[in-house]
Amino acid sequence: MSRPVSSEPAESSDRLAEQLLRLTRRLHHAQKAAFRPLGLTPAQSRLLRTVGAHGRHGEAPRMADLARQLEVVPRAVTTLVDALEERGAVRRAQDPDNRRVVLIELTDEGHAILGRLRQARQSAAEGILEGLTQEQRVQLGGLLSTLVDEPENGS
Amino acid sequence: MSRPVSSEPAESSDRLAEQLLRLTRRLHHAQKAAFRPLGLTPAQSRLLRTVGAHGRHGEAPRMADLARQLEVVPRAVTTLVDALEERGAVRRAQDPDNRRVVLIELTDEGHAILGRLRQARQSAAEGILEGLTQEQRVQLGGLLSTLVDEPENGS
DNA sequence: TATTGTTATACTCTATAACTATA
DNA sequence: TATAGTTATAGAGTATAACAATA
């Protein structure tokens, strides 16, 4: 019942899962080290980057927007924003149209951090991907995109 | 400095990192739900599976072996083995040749759990990979293998 | 002295549940 | 009632540091 040959789809999926886990654990290690000088944890950096992405489109995101985009519960965002606010990278602002809503705005400090953060993020990512050629990275990106990226329009 | 066009390698690596993180987070969710009926967490399941793999080669692994294979510090293995021992899946045994060494042996219960675990693992993995064709999975496995698998021999 | 695993401790990340304040 | 975010709490996962036992 435990055949040495294992070419069934299920078995290979399971192996893929282990490989994904390993790779992501290494990424986390690399990010932890790369972000420490900036005073940020990986999850905080991820949130800050998302806030920055919103900023480029002109609008400050709400807590709920961030939770949805990061695929975490709103409660998790509260903790991260608390930390980033204490770090001076973001500030909470009220939405004049709806007083329940909390908008997350990037501070000047946050903007400065984002610049340095980009390099740190990229060097951490490079660290774990250095075994792949450029072509292989594109291939990997395409496969992952199929799995995790949301379709463009939601009509 | 913030160009909309982003085809540099670094930028794409960073995107890959985010995609990996997302996928692994979803995997973790799926595994948590799939393993709960067995009374195991994802990390415990991963350890148990590694112990089982050793068993097929006839030898019980040491704590240090498991730490190395899982890419965690030995202290982390202690916690996981404690839980698996309480669950009745493994037992600690002494190495007669070296009294410092703790060998981890699979119990009968552990063996039974492993069988059910395999199905749970595979269905969790299937859940996050269902968007890929068989060919794409093989492709993905090859790319990940390049990144995380150790070379066969270490002469 | 070096190795093996542990006790002690702490932090990151994330979750569920109950609550407050709006709408 | 439904929504937005919070306080309160908990658990999983992993880490560092100091230590005991053994080699």
Q: What CATH number corresponds to the domain at position B28?
A: 1.10.10.10
Q: What is the pLDDT of residue B12?
A: 77
Q: Would you say residue A31 has pLDDT above 50?
A: yes
Domain count, chain A: 1
Cβ-in-10-Å burial (0-12, 13-18, 19+) of B40 comes to buried
Write the CB contacts of B116 (distance below 8 Å, at least 6 apart in sequence): B38
Average pLDDT score, chain B: 91
Range of the domain at A77: 27-146
Average pLDDT over residues B135-153: 88
Within 7 Å: CB of B100 and strand C?
Answer: yes
Q: Would you say residue A151 has pLDDT above 90?
A: no
A111 pLDDT band, cuts 50/70/90, is very high
Residue A125 lies in a domain: yes
Q: What is the pLDDT of residue B14?
A: 85
Q: What is the pLDDT of residue B63?
A: 98
Residue A17 lies in a domain: no
Residue A48 lies in a domain: yes
A4 pLDDT band, cuts 50/70/90, is very low
Residue B61 lies in a domain: yes
Token duo for residue B83: 């839980």
Q: What is the pLDDT of residue A3?
A: 45
Average pLDDT over residues A19-31: 96
Percent of chain A clearing pLDDT 70 (strictly above): 90
Which of A11 and A29 is assigned the larger pLDDT? A29
A79 pLDDT band, cuts 50/70/90, is very high
Residue A3 lies in a domain: no
Please report, rounded to whole angstroms, the spatial distance between the CA atom of protein residue A42 and the C1' atom of nucleotide C12: 9
Write the CB contacts of B32 (distance below 8 Å, at least 6 apart in sequence): B41, B42
Distance, in Å, from the CA atom of B123 to the CA atom of B50, rounded to the nearest integer, reads 19
Residue A74 lies in a domain: yes
A12 pLDDT band, cuts 50/70/90, is confident
Q: In chain A, which residues have their Cβ closer than 8 Å to the Cβ of B131?
A: 146-147
Among A9-13, B27-31, B71-75, B77-81, which is the least confidently predicted range? A9-13
Integer distance in angstroms from the first to the last C-alpha of chain A? 48
Residue B62, strand partner residues: B103
Range A109-128 burial, b when 16+ CB lie within 10 A, else e: ebeebbeebbebbbbbbebb
Check: CB of residue B46 under 8 Å from CB of residue B70.
Answer: yes
Residue nearest to nucleotide C22 (CA to C1'): A100
Interface A-B, measured as beta-carbon pairs within 8 A, has a size of 138
Check: CB of residue A127 under 8 Å from CB of residue A30.
Answer: yes
Q: Would you say residue B1 has pLDDT above 60?
A: no
Residue A120 lies in a domain: yes
Residue B103 lies in a domain: yes
B112 pLDDT band, cuts 50/70/90, is very high
Q: What is the pLDDT of residue A150?
A: 72
Q: In chain A, which residues have their Cβ closer than 8 Å to the Cβ of B128?
A: 17, 147
Distance, in Å, from the CA atom of A66 to the CA atom of A55, rounded to the nearest integer, reads 12
